[in-house]
């Protein structure tokens, strides 16, 4: 049996607990706090001095300080974002523009230095208002979507965010789905597409879906069917121009030699790729190859010529979808001719 305590005993116990409780709000000594504040500046200063000495010794630029500054900017932005706490705004899709833009230095480095993207026709993307961007899809993982978004956000005269539609399988993965939503992606569903277009957003769709990213290397740059043309019907209903996009380079980042379908079914994935390096090298096999990319934005395909009722006419919808597909396919062949080599 547990003995009951009197109110006086409880007060005495409470006072003892207050006496022995550790002091809250412990602060580091001033010299350490001063060093914490100065550490980023001291690190940049040291990197600058090292860059100058190496340039003097070798006669060339060994450390690119612009890249160092971009890394420092990324770290600083992540620190500032962490200080926001829970009180920050996102739209009803979970999109956080400030969080998205904080990753821009990383994606710009991939865009500019790793895949050395050559861009054409980005001026065809409207500076304001709605549009449906339609591109070919390849490369096992959707790096092509990231590079298209980076192109419009960094190369356009009026930078804009692009909202890409993603397969529902990826939106079911806890950590990945959180990141995708925070950076502006949405589930590839006609209702989500309609809502985004009604808000005058730029919406990126890949009509090939996982059939495109999961096709074998021997089928590279041959477009799969664009389904039943759902994107075309959505564009007609929303009165949104269609911007076809041809991407060259994404097919070679993960040359897919096979598909372990039993493993894919076990993991709930659309495919389980086998490449020259995956799964043999483990996590290292997930590093994409540095292929040379070309991205071309084609002139818009206007839908004003179609009455809204045409969205229910499957024949007219498929004619429009096939026209967009043919434009993208011709652009792929044209850009392949301009490329000197896979990695050049």
- How far apart (Å, rounded) are the C-alpha atoms in residues 241 and 304? 8
pLDDT top residue among 180 and 9: 180
Q: Is the pLDDT of residue 249 over 60?
A: yes
> pLDDT grade, residue 26 (50/70/90)?
low
Q: What's the confidence (pLDDT) of residue 52?
A: 73
> pLDDT grade, residue 86 (50/70/90)?
confident
Superfamily of domain 97-253+288-338: Glycerol-3-phosphate (1)-acyltransferase (3.40.1130.10)
In percent, the amount of the chain with pLDDT more than 90 equals 60
Q: What's the confidence (pLDDT) of residue 47?
A: 64
* pTM attached to this predicted model: 0.81
What is the side-by-side strand order in the sheet with 118-120? 118-120, 294-297, 242-248, 131-135, 202-205, 162-166, 186-187
């Amino acid at each position: 049996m547990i003995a009951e305590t009197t109110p006086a005993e409880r007060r005495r116990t409470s006072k003892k607990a207050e006496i022995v409780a550790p002091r809250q709000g412990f602060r580091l000594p001033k010299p350490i706090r001063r060093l914490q504040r100065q550490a980023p500046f001291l690190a940049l200063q040291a990197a600058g001095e090292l860059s100058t000495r190496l340039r003097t010794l070798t006669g060339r630029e060994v450390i690119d300080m612009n890249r160092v500054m971009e890394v420092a900017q990324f770290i600083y932005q992540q620190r500032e974002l962490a200080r926001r706490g829970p009180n920050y705004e996102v739209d009803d899709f979970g999109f956080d523009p400030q969080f998205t833009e904080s990753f821009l230095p990383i994606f710009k480095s991939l865009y500019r230095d790793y895949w050395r993207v050559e861009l054409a026709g980005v001026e065809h993307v409207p500076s304001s208002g709605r549009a449906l961007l339609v591109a070919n899809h390849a490369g096992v993982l959707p790096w092509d979507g990231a590079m298209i978004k980076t192109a419009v956000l960094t190369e356009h005269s009026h930078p804009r965010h692009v909202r890409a539609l993603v397969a529902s399988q990826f939106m079911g993965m806890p950590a990945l789905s959180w990141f995708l939503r925070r950076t502006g992606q949405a589930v590839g569903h006609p209702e989500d597409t309609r809502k985004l277009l009604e808000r005058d957003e730029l919406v990126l769709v890949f009509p090939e879906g996982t059939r495109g990213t999961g096709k074998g290397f021997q089928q590279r740059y041959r477009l799969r069917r664009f389904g039943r043309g759902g994107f075309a019907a959505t564009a007609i209903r929303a009165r949104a121009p269609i911007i076809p996009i041809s991407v060259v380079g994404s097919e070679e980042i993960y040359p897919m030699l096979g598909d372990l379908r039993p493993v894919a079914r076990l993991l709930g994935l659309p495919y389980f790729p086998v490449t020259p390096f995956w799964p043999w090298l483990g996590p290292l096999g997930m590093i994409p190859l540095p292929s040379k990319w070309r991205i071309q934005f084609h002139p818009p395909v206007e839908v004003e010529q179609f009455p809204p009722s045409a969205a229910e006419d499957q024949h007219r919808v498929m004619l429009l979808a096939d026209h967009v597909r043919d434009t993208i396919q011709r652009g792929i062949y044209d850009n392949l001719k301009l490329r000197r080599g896979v990695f050049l």
